[in-house]
């Protein structure tokens, strides 16, 4: 085993790892952190997409290293605001934005009754016709959450609305008018901004973001001006299938001062940005992944794409496609290979990496076909054994019945794990379209047995 590098030798730069298995990505990242440790009292900054992923990452690192300590695992939005304070100084950037979601919700709670009679607010006025304070606060929370998402993902829309233009900008910066029933969003945002003092308006995320990028760019070459003492020396972004463009811009700017390591789940080893509608907005000269069989799919009509790509990837991959393609603008793979001693930066598995090479399960076959961008016409069709339960469909007439079927299936899986490998509740994740809609049914079905009952399945 190679001895770990000294804590002081941590060159800055931008490293993007792609792989189709999250376990492989984690092993590679954990190995890199072990070989290039920070100083004993430094915290490892790790960005994840959810609190559930944060817990999984910490437990996985602890299983590998024996302990997970001094790890600041956090969400990107919180990290961004902390970085703004580190770069511009705590005196210029407060601990919280004046338009944070909670503060904004109370501001909207007060503003909503004032705007109901104004033109364009009919959709909101209809919802609040009964003048119920509880209903108004519920709506204020939802609108505040919406504006909070805009601040992270679409600051360009908010900038446009703040200038008094009721428009939406697309990926090509082409403006289209807001639909009539949505213009209240722009008008309400203008009212929010009108209440802020000039120094408060300068503290909104879009304005701070531009200042931070300019500062990081200006100080990259001048060591006397660098805010390096406050910035983390390494930032790891792990397991995210979508990162807002402002976050990517910030990480790219930080990479001139710190080491930025991204571990990106990517289902396909080939360039697949051109298999979906909207590909004309993602024309970028630099391309990380090779073409399958050397074919430029941007020249193939979408009506014929089923002959060249996997339909599941085309149907479900839009958000991940947009992110991976955006990342190409910041990711120079050749420079990464030249600067950092990594054996591989493309961590896609091979057929021999799976344990059931002789007779792969149906799930493994589908994963391989997506990984290799194999169209349906080229799929081999080996028979699926009756005992293969890797992909199963159930039909149910209600959410409660869905959960009852799921509960029975999980009990059976835990009693008789596939392949006779130990299976624990923490190894299982259940995904639903809207967790809020299913929460009462989950509590009713999974909470019916106490902790000491053998039928109890822990859930959260």
Same domain for 144 and 222?
A: no
Three-state SS for 259? strand
Domain boundary (139, 173, 195) is at: 195
Q: How many domains does the chain have?
A: 3
**Residue 111 sits in a domain of what CATH number?**
1.10.10.160
Same domain for 127 and 40?
A: no
- Dihedral sign for Cα 104, 109, 110, 114, please: positive
| Calpha distance 130→21 (Å, rounded) | 52
- pLDDT value, residue 116: 86
Domain boundary (167, 195, 223) is at: 195
- pLDDT value, residue 1: 46
Q: What pTM value is reported for the model?
A: 0.84
Same domain for 212 and 333?
A: yes
- pLDDT value, residue 8: 55
- Of 244, 240, 74, 232, the C-alpha closest to 157 is 244
Block means of pLDDT (10 residues each) for the chain, 460 residues, are 58 93 93 90 92 89 88 91 91 87 92 89 84 89 93 88 89 84 93 89 85 87 58 94 90 93 93 79 75 83 83 82 85 87 88 63 91 87 83 93 95 86 86 89 93 91
Same domain for 259 and 159?
A: no
- pLDDT value, residue 97: 85
Q: What is the span of the domain harbouring residue 403?
A: 399-446
β-sheet bridge partners, residue 237: 47, 262
| Calpha distance 379→386 (Å, rounded) | 20
Three-state SS for 14? strand
**Residue 258 sits in a domain of what CATH number?**
3.40.50.10930
Calculate the alpha carbon distances from 243 to 76, 320, 406, 410, 444 in Å. 8, 9, 31, 32, 35
């Amino acid at each position: 085993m190679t001895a770990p590098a000294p804590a002081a030798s941590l060159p800055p730069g931008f490293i993007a790892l792609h792989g189709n298995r999250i376990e492989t990505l984690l092993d590679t990242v954990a190995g890199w952190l072990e070989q290039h440790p920070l100083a004993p009292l430094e915290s490892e900054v790790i960005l994840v997409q959810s609190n559930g992923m944060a817990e999984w990452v910490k437990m996985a690192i602890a299983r590998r290293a024996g302990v997970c300590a001094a790890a600041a695992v956090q969400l990107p939005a919180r990290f961004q605001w902390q970085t703004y304070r580190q770069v511009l100084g705590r005196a210029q950037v407060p601990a919280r934005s004046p338009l944070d979601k909670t503060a904004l919700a109370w501001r909207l709670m007060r503003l909503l009754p004032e705007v109901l009679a104004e033109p364009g607010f009919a959709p909101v006025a209809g919802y609040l016709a009964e003048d119920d304070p509880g209903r108004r606060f519920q709506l204020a929370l939802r609108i505040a959450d919406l504006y909070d998402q805009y601040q992270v993902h679409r600051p360009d829309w908010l900038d446009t609305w703040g200038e008094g233009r009721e428009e939406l900008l697309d990926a090509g910066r082409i403006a289209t008018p807001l639909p009539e029933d949505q213009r209240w969003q722009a008008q309400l945002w203008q009212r929010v901004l009108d209440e802020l003092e000039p120094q408060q308006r300068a503290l909104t995320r879009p304005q701070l973001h531009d200042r931070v990028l300019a500062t990081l760019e200006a100080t990259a070459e001048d060591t006397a001006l660098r805010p390096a003492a406050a910035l983390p020396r390494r930032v790891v972004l792990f397991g995210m299938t979508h990162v807002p463009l402002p976050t990517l811009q910030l990480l790219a700017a930080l990479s001139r001062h710190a080491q930025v390591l991204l571990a990106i789940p990517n289902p396909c080893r080939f360039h697949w940005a051109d298999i979906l509608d909207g590909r004309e907005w993602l024309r970028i000269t630099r391309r990380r992944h090779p073409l399958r069989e050397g074919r430029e799919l941007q020249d193939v009509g979408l009506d014929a794409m089923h002959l060249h790509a996997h339909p599941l990837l085309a149907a479900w991959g839009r958000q991940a496609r947009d992110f991976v393609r955006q990342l190409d603008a910041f990711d120079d793979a050749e420079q990464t290979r030249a600067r950092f001693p990594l054996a591989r930066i493309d961590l896609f598995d091979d057929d021999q990496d799976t344990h059931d090479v002789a007779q792969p399960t149906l799930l493994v076959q589908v994963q391989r076909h997506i990984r290799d961008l194999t169209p349906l016409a080229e799929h081999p069709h080996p028979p699926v054994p009756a005992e293969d339960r890797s992909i199963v469909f159930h039909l149910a007439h209600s959410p409660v019945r869905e959960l009852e079927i799921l509960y029975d299936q999980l009990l059976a899986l835990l009693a008789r794990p596939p392949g006779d490998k130990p299976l624990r509740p923490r190894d299982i994740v259940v995904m639903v379209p809207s967790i809020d809609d299913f929460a009462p049914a989950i509590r009713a079905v999974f909470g019916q047995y106490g902790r000491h009952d053998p039928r109890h399945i822990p859930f959260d």
